[in-house]
Structure 1
Amino acid sequence: MFDPTIYDNLKVVFEGAMYDMDLDGSVQIIQRTDRVELSSMSRCFGMEAVRRQKGLVIGRIMLTASLADLAAELLSQPDEQPGCGLELTFIFPIREVEPDCAFAAKQMIDIWGDKVSVAQSIHMEYGKQPLKLENHLTIQFSRKLDERQIDDIPSLLEHFLLSLERLDQHFFTE
């Protein structure tokens, strides 16, 4: 038997909460990723979902832990803060880069507050007509998560669902 790490505990809670949202009909899980990168000894767990009703925006939750995070936890290093990184990504089509990206950024700051980092990258397939632009909006949290934030996961997932709703309402009703 082994003592589960911070990453293991958070992964189980996120996974269970996401599947609960799928069971209650809020979202449909469309992808699940669970990786161990042997070259860097890092771990990554992610789930992608869309809203069940009129959901076209893809939302992704990605939990990560590096070797340094694991070492800090297992070796109880006093100068290091063990924990996991959390990143959320929302993928949706846009028509006009400047106004659409500005709108999406404002919505995310309204929902998540100004303590998160919001980055957007625009993707397109070269040579494909008509030109289709896809926004990959990423939210990164400035601090690491640990077991002290487990009780915050339901609230975080409510914000995740609200983000999906707002982006769906704006980008798919026009």
Structure 2
Amino acid sequence: MFDPTIYDNLKVVFEGAMYDMDLDDFVQIIQRTDRVELATMSRSFGMEAVRKQGGQVIGRILLTASLADLAAELLSQSGEQPGCGLELTFIFPIQDMERDCALAAKQMIDIWGDKVSIAQSIHMEYGKQPVKLENHLTVQFLRKLDERQIDDIPSLLEHFLLSLERLDQHFATE
């Protein structure tokens, strides 16, 4: 019989919880990816959503597991902690790079605390006028997740939704 891995268990819970949020009219799922990278034997699962109440900010949840994570789990390697990586990305337009990036970082720290790493990259299409800047803000969890955090997923998704709401309030365009 197949024994699901940490990644499989977390993926099922995240996927179900995200679809529940869609059914409850909080978000609209706009993208779902489920990949196995054969070159590195890694796996990733992602979902993208926007708030149904006029949301424009795209939020992405990405769960990852490497070959090292799988080996540590299946082989019960001592000294290795099996688990999955989790990162959230929020994509939204900005006008003033310095001001808007500082505001977005402050909002994410207020919501997620200091147990995460926050990175922002600014994207634009060369040659297109007027210049439109798009922020890709990533919240990365500094520790691996495993089944002990399954009960935390509803709270994590509430924070995800709050992040979408706050970013929509400040950065959504008319």
Which TM-score band (shorter chain)? Answer: over 0.9
Please name the residue that 1:166 is paired with: 166
Say whether residues 1:70 and 2:65 are aligned partners.
no
- In the alignment of these two chains, the number of paired residues is 174
**Where does 1:129-168 land on structure 2 (aligned, <5 Å)?**
129-168=129-168
Cα separation, 2, equivalents of 1:75 and 1:38: 20
Cα separation, 1, equivalents of 2:114 and 2:83: 22
Please name the residue that 1:27 is paired with: 27
Cα separation, 2, equivalents of 1:20 and 1:120: 29
One-letter amino acid of the structure 2 residue matched with residue 96 of structure 1: D
Cα separation, 1, equivalents of 2:166 and 2:61: 17
**Where does 1:43-122 land on structure 2 (aligned, <5 Å)?**
43-122=43-122
Please name the residue that 1:5 is paired with: 5
One-letter amino acid of the structure 2 residue matched with residue 68 of structure 1: A
In structure 2, list runs of 5 or more residues that go unmatched: none
Cα separation, 2, equivalents of 1:157 and 1:11: 13
Cα separation, 1, equivalents of 2:34 and 2:3: 19
Query: How much does 1:173 deviate?
Result: 6.5
Secondary structure of 1:144 counterpart? coil
Task: Give every structure 1 segment of 4 or more consecutive aligned residues whose post-TM-superposition deviation is greater than 3 Å.
Answer: none
Q: What are the superposed Cα offsets for residues 79-127 of structure 1, whole Å, 9 maximum, x if unpaired? A: 1000000000000000000000000000000000011100000000000
What is the aligned-residue identity percentage?
Answer: 88
Is the 2:26–2:51 Cα contact (8 Å) retained in structure 1? yes
Cα separation, 1, equivalents of 2:10 and 2:167: 27
Cα separation, 2, equivalents of 1:115 and 1:153: 16
In structure 1, list runs of 5 or more residues that go unmatched: none
Secondary structure of 1:103 counterpart? helix
TM-score, length basis structure 1:
0.99
One-letter amino acid of the structure 1 residue matched with residue 124 of structure 2: M
Is the 2:93–2:173 Cα contact (8 Å) retained in structure 1? no
